[in-house]
Homo-oligomer: A and B are copies of this chain.
């Protein structure tokens, strides 16, 4: 079992976790959580989204969050920007990098962005040009890489072709996302090993949801496929609209826990991360799906009964 020695874990809770929350999280609380995350060893944090405040009221304070977080040197602070308007606002607010997104499957892209795949590629091309003018790197997030909740199977060749198109367009990185928890380990291994064989220098990131409990197995498969960048969301916050009651984002602290126990260094303070997940649970006001935040680290032993 060939595994890397070091892995880069990225937290996206302040975007992918918070955006599903109906109750507005106070701006100072969002800033506080980004600042706390900044102390734990991450090299990249996705901190907000510059989207329509009517469509996603939770993200209406995006510029204020970006302007007021404490920037720790060595961390890339990114924001999700769906279009030119969002990208301009994000650049003006001073983000380090832009995260753009679209779906590989036509029906999911239509449902989510109301565009064809080809039109999305063109629209994102304009955002990439804008970002280049301002020296901001762009990461493309490809949704439904491992299955579409409307169409079912998404051919691996479509995913690889689209990712390679974006490499040619000059993106800094590619996120292969399993938007609705449909991926399986064999599929992850086959996609990532083939993509990296064709594009050995591509900065490749995996984003799994734990909808069917398979997220950490998929990460193990991605590691064997050669991927060394993984996204998670603190506490596992953030659900899936198609699976009420099921888990959403893989909990960042569970990813770090598995990697560190497996002897793969993340540079992240797991104890601090567990404490922050427990704090987030209080902020959100309901039980979060993270397991390590409940069970503790493997090395946190217990006294013998009666001892």
- Closest B-chain residue to A287, C-beta based? B245
Whole-angstrom CA separation of A302 from B111 in the bound complex: 12
Stretch binding the partner chain, chosen from A56-64, A74-82, A207-215: A207-215
A128 CB to nearest chain B CB (Å) = 28
1/0 per residue, CB under 8 A from B, across A228-245: the answer is: 000000000000101111
A68 CB to nearest chain B CB (Å) = 33
Which residues of chain B have C-beta atoms less than 8 A from A295's C-beta? 181, 211-212, 240, 242-243, 246
A: interface residue count bin: 35 or more
A226 CB to nearest chain B CB (Å) = 12
A186 CB to nearest chain B CB (Å) = 5
Whether A141 sits at the interface, judged by CB under 8 Å, is no
Q: Contacts A217-B220, A295-B242 hold; do A212 and B182 have CB atoms under 8 A apart?
A: no
Partner of A301, one of B151, B187, B210, B216: B151
Which residues of chain B have C-beta atoms less than 8 A from A244's C-beta? 294
Partner of A292, one of B152, B213, B221, B262: B213
Q: Contacts A212-B258, A220-B217, A221-B1 hold; do A111 and B240 have CB atoms under 8 A apart?
A: no
Partner of A149, one of B189, B220, B301: B301
Q: Among residues 140 to 161 in chain A, which have CB atoms less than 8 Å away from a CB atom of chain B?
A: 147, 149-152
Pair B262/A185 contact, Cβ less than 8 Å: yes
Whether A17 sits at the interface, judged by CB under 8 Å, is no
Number of copies: 2
A234 CB to nearest chain B CB (Å) = 14
Chain A, interface SS category: loop
Pair A246/B294 contact, Cβ less than 8 Å: yes
A262 CB to nearest chain B CB (Å) = 5
Pair B220/A251 contact, Cβ less than 8 Å: no
Whether A14 sits at the interface, judged by CB under 8 Å, is no
Which residues of chain B have C-beta atoms less than 8 A from A212's C-beta? 254, 257-258, 291-292, 295, 298
Q: Contacts A213-B292, A258-B214, A291-B212 hold; do A185 and B298 have CB atoms under 8 A apart?
A: no
Whether A247 sits at the interface, judged by CB under 8 Å, is yes
Whether A263 sits at the interface, judged by CB under 8 Å, is yes
Whole-angstrom CA separation of A242 from B301 in the bound complex: 9
A287 CB to nearest chain B CB (Å) = 7
A170 CB to nearest chain B CB (Å) = 32
Additional pairs, 6, CB under 8 Å, beyond known A214-B257, A246-B294: A1-B221, A212-B258, A213-B250, A217-B220, A246-B295, A247-B291
